[in-house]
Structure 1
Amino acid sequence: MAFEAFRQRLGSIIGGFDAAQAHRRLRGFRASRAHVNTLIAASGDTITARARWLVRNNGYAANAVESFASNVVGDGIKPSSTIADAAKKEELQALWLAWTDDADAEGLTDFYGLQRRAAREVFLSGEVFVRIRPRRAEDGLTVPLQLQMLPAEMLPLDMNRTLPGAGLIRQGIEFDGIGRRVAYHFLRRHPGDLTDPGLSGETARVPAADVIHVLDPVEAGQLRGVSRFAAAIVKLFTLDLYDDAELERKKIAAMFAMFITSPAPETPLEPTEEDLEVEPGQVVRLDPGEDVSTPATPDSGGTYELFQYRTLLQIGAALGIPYGYLTGDTAKGNFSNTRISLIEFRRRISAWQHGVLVFQMCRAVWTRWMDVAVLSGALDLPGYDSQRRQYQACAWLPTKWDWIDPMKDASAEILQIEAGLKSRTQALSERGYDAEQVDREIAAERKRELALGLDFRRPGSPAQGPGDAKGNDNADQGGDAADEDKADDTADVRPDPKDKQ
């Protein structure tokens, strides 16, 4: 305490940064110097519990979670193998697609549904655990491997102890002597699930190789996640209380239709007559001395909407969700403002997709899945042991963003491709498609159209070959078929320029 007082006196003498002073404006600003791990250990469970309560009971909170998960995952972040052998790549992709339906150990969704659940959990509680569960060959799976999702509450925050040797456990995570994660000590039963007959408080040690810990750390050295709602819980809850109070005030005011004032009765304790019920068009005769007045229903005032709007803007900023996505209110912004907010939001989502979900979960699952697929004989990749890294290389393709202005956006992209500023492969990847697969589908469609005498390409479009004004891409027809078309279709034969002379 003496050193702290000396330090503050020294700071007041030296000056410099106002943010570090203890003058009148900042006298009540007492920031904790505890590390984020200490703060999470002290209050992480409470923050997560309050966030879950808000999502269950508050419409804005529920909408924020769904908006985040839908934009991060969409229909799924899907792998596209970079294997050069087209036949092997097609076999690999087909096997992966078949396995995605078997991925969930609970059998409630597919692998892409697990991605969405992971995104929701990380937004809600700051982290989620995916346990890799090897299966037996007789289980009948396409690849004997499944994934089990465990919420943050399954790993106790208060488990901290030193182990024999150089190891230790911090917040349920076991580390070796050089700081590597070697195991996770999960509870066998969710601490809040009273329907599970398992022993309360009993833990099981799971090797780190079988656990995927998905989190987005906000500070260096952070071990466990913290809910995205941490900065918004107070305002969400108090705004909900304010709305409830306003609604109750209006409801009470609406209960009274009119008040009847009568002279003071001779006997004050005499029972009053029954309440007067008023119907539309009714004529009411009053006794002498009685008067009727209607209540002045209190209005919410002109500041109610503005207060709500500003508070929801602060909540949206704390959650990282645009106002329109948080509230569903599209009347507050024009096209330009909405476009700017969407571009910023999508940039953040893209960074989260590749920096968190793809790097931590998708790549780990893909690597383990390929190992198991090859070892089980479900996939035959010659020389896999020596070329494992080359075989496992792949690109992860998120769901394409919907165009804000489809005509302008598509035209701009076509110009970029024609100018050599972007490749078709890059453009297709940004839309969540595999370029090689798309090219094969286009070639198959053109072959089918040729056999049926059809051509749906727009005249003059980049999809047509040069000089093919009628849309017949002779280069794709190949060989004798193209020669026969040129000989038979005299309308396509261009006149000799000498004939004009």
Structure 2
Amino acid sequence: MRWLDKAVLAISPERGLARVKARSAAHTLMNYDAASKGRRTYGWKSPGTSADSAALGSRSRLRNLSRDFMRNRALAVRGRDVTSGNVVGTGIRPSVRMEQGQEDRASEAMEVVQDHLLTSAIDTYGVSDILGLQTLVMNTVFTDGEILVRRRMRNTLFDPNLKLPFQVQLMEVDHLDESITSNGNNDVIEGIEYGPTGKAVAYHLFDQHPGEVGWRRRRKMTSTRVPAEQILHIRRIERPGQMRGIPWLAPVMTTLGEISDYQDSQILKQKIGSLLAFFVKSGADGKTYAGAQLSHLEPGAIVGLAEGQEVTPSEPPKVDGYQEFMNQAIRTIAVGLGLSYESFGDLRGVNFSSGKMGRIEMDRFVEIWQRAIIITQFCMGVSRWTRDGWRLVEASKGLAPVPKSIDWTAPKRPMIDPAKEIGAAVDEIEAGLTSLQRKQRELGYDPDVIAREREEDANRGGTPAAPANRNQRPPEDETIEEDEEDERQ
């Protein structure tokens, strides 16, 4: 301690101790270059806000900008389509798991699931089945950062075509009424009501989208308090306690916008360069050429010029380093989104090994998004609603027993080299490193469906061939004959 610190400590121990602690903390802080304040870190932001407060006040603008990028930026659309195409693909399909002793009624229960979830009956708007809704959910989570799914209970007496008494309605988060700040003793933040434990207990929703215009906006905007049990709030969670989502383009939005502007400017530059122009210099007499004849210049035309005048063509601008710059820019976007560079369409120089390595990292992210977003938040929520609705009409409609659970199987991942990859899967099963049904699910197949179909094939008289053992040795006599033939040669 310096003499001043000792003097302050003697006069006021509390202030003296605070000075010593502050100096000690400053010395510790300076051990990290990134934490220091100076020219190199000028402009760096480091607010200590919570996960949701970080985007408070700017969430709406980020969402609207992201939507505009989807309308006008090709790379943004590609990023969204690649993400949804890999996470959802052809759809994460449901299958039923019955209680013990009721396995023989699995086919009946599966018919109920197919009639309700795998048709447009599940959609409030009557457009998509559950597989189509999965794609729309993933697209919206990517673009807006979050989406609300509301359960709509129905009376099957008035709609007998519904097997189960509910439908789902996808709603953009713009429906949240952010003008409400409290409800009783509960706080309402950005339209979401939180209970004493910090859990969302209700959502305050407008009955129509605030952005509706024209004939569709017929009445005054009013909001309704909807219990959280009737809402699925789907988003990517990155920090503890996070309740809201942000657009996935947020980390790369500035870069993506500048890259798109650069690309447009290069296109305009080439367009101007392709317009060959002629400049006529004045002659010795000082007269200038009016250019009337040049205004209708056609290929092969011969234009007479006054004596002493000369024509020089324009020099189109050159584009240097455009390809290299765009490649690196797309790599930056791909890294920010968790996708591979090759998924944006450039497959030059890609072989099996490099393609496989690029897919491994991306597939890890895809599996995380599948499980944490679509399956856990959306599909399992719909499963819960399905089983609840099933119990209400099970007896009155004479349906199969309510399944013990509804499982979800993601679609198979496209193979780069099917022969090698299937062979490796067979080796894993034979070596005891995994089970057959686990590997079937990894490939996007439902083990129960496969077993049932193989049994049906056997009952029809077409006994399925047993899987060949690729490691099986030939009979001993054949081996001896081959060895003798080799010796004679």
Contact (CA 8 Å) 1:12, 1:21: kept in 2 or not?
no
2:168 matched to 1:147? yes
- Alpha-carbon distance, 1:359 to partner: 1.1
CA distance in 2, matches of 1:51, 1:284: 53
Which amino acid counterpart does residue 126 of structure 1 have in structure 2?
Answer: G
Q: 2:339 aligns with which of 299, 318, 321?
A: 321
Which amino acid counterpart does residue 335 of structure 2 have in structure 1?
Answer: A
CA distance in 2, matches of 1:466, 1:27: 70
CA distance in 2, matches of 1:235, 1:200: 40
- Alpha-carbon distance, 1:300 to partner: 0.5
2:460 matched to 1:443? no
Structure 1 residues 6, 99: CA separation in 2 closer, same or farther (over 3 Å shift)?
A: farther
Which amino acid counterpart does residue 142 of structure 2 have in structure 1?
Answer: F
Equivalent residue number for residue 294 of structure 1? 313
- Alpha-carbon distance, 1:271 to partner: 4.4
**Matched position secondary structure for 2:58:** helix
CA distance in 2, matches of 1:238, 1:265: 50
CA distance in 2, matches of 1:334, 1:279: 49
- Tell me the alpha carbon deviations over residues 424-458 of structure 1, each in whole angstroms, 9 at most, x when there is no partner: 211221222222221222232244345xxxx7859
2:127 matched to 1:112? no
**Matched position secondary structure for 1:26:** coil
Contact (CA 8 Å) 1:189, 1:199: kept in 2 or not?
no
Equivalent residue number for residue 227 of structure 2? 207
Structure 1 residues 380, 449: CA separation in 2 closer, same or farther (over 3 Å shift)?
A: closer
CA distance in 2, matches of 1:467, 1:134: 64
1:260-299 alignment runs, 5 A limit: 260-266=280-286, 271-275=290-294, 280=299, 286-299=305-318
How many residues get paired? Answer: 447
Equivalent residue number for residue 304 of structure 1? 322
**Matched position secondary structure for 2:201:** strand
- Alpha-carbon distance, 1:32 to partner: 2.3
**Matched position secondary structure for 2:408:** strand
2:82 matched to 1:64? no
Equivalent residue number for residue 420 of structure 1? 432
Which amino acid counterpart does residue 313 of structure 1 have in structure 2?
Answer: R
- Alpha-carbon distance, 1:203 to partner: 1.1
**Matched position secondary structure for 1:22:** coil
2:38 matched to 1:23? yes
- Tell me the alpha carbon deviations over residues 39-62 of structure 1, each in whole angstroms, 9 at most, x when there is no partner: 322100000000000001111111
Equivalent residue number for residue 362 of structure 1? 379
CA distance in 2, matches of 1:6, 1:38: 33
Equivalent residue number for residue 94 of structure 1? 111
Q: 2:148 aligns with which of 123, 129, 149?
A: 129
2:392 matched to 1:375? yes
**Matched position secondary structure for 2:241:** coil
Contact (CA 8 Å) 2:294, 2:303: kept in 1 or not?
no
Q: 2:412 aligns with which of 381, 400, 403?
A: 400
CA distance in 2, matches of 1:280, 1:249: 23
2:276 matched to 1:256? yes
**Matched position secondary structure for 2:460:** helix
CA distance in 2, matches of 1:77, 1:130: 17
**Matched position secondary structure for 1:25:** coil
**Matched position secondary structure for 2:164:** coil
1:190-201 alignment runs, 5 A limit: 190-195=209-214, 196-199=216-219, 201=221
2:452 matched to 1:430? no
Q: 1:236 aligns with which of 256, 259, 263?
A: 256
Structure 1 residues 381, 274: CA separation in 2 closer, same or farther (over 3 Å shift)?
A: closer
2:182 matched to 1:162? yes
Which amino acid counterpart does residue 432 of structure 1 have in structure 2?
Answer: G
Contact (CA 8 Å) 2:193, 2:202: kept in 1 or not?
yes
- Tell me the alpha carbon deviations over residues 114-141 of structure 1, each in whole angstroms, 9 at most, x when there is no partner: 1111111111111101000110112121
CA distance in 2, matches of 1:27, 1:237: 23
- Tell me the alpha carbon deviations over residues 288-317 of structure 1, each in whole angstroms, 9 at most, x when there is no partner: 32323222211111x211111111111111
CA distance in 2, matches of 1:9, 1:229: 41
CA distance in 2, matches of 1:46, 1:298: 38
Name structure 2 gaps, 5 residues minimum. 1-18, 476-489
Equivalent residue number for residue 461 of structure 1? 468
CA distance in 2, matches of 1:265, 1:9: 83
Identity %: 27
- Tell me the alpha carbon deviations over residues 148-196 of structure 1, each in whole angstroms, 9 at most, x when there is no partner: 000121114x4452333x3221221112223332210012221222133
Q: Name the TM-score, length of structure 1 as normaliser.
A: 0.82
- Alpha-carbon distance, 1:369 to partner: 0.8
Which amino acid counterpart does residue 295 of structure 1 have in structure 2?
Answer: S
CA distance in 2, matches of 1:67, 1:200: 39
CA distance in 2, matches of 1:99, 1:220: 36
- Tell me the alpha carbon deviations over residues 338-366 of structure 1, each in whole angstroms, 9 at most, x when there is no partner: 22121111111111111221111111111
Equivalent residue number for residue 245 of structure 2? 225
**Matched position secondary structure for 1:376:** helix
Name structure 1 gaps, 5 residues minimum. 385-390, 469-501
CA distance in 1, matches of 2:150, 2:283: 79
Which amino acid counterpart does residue 330 of structure 2 have in structure 1?
Answer: L
- Alpha-carbon distance, 1:250 to partner: 1.8
Which amino acid counterpart does residue 88 of structure 1 have in structure 2?
Answer: R
Over aligned residues, Cα RMSD in angstroms? 3.0
Contact (CA 8 Å) 1:104, 1:147: kept in 2 or not?
yes
CA distance in 1, matches of 2:439, 2:232: 31
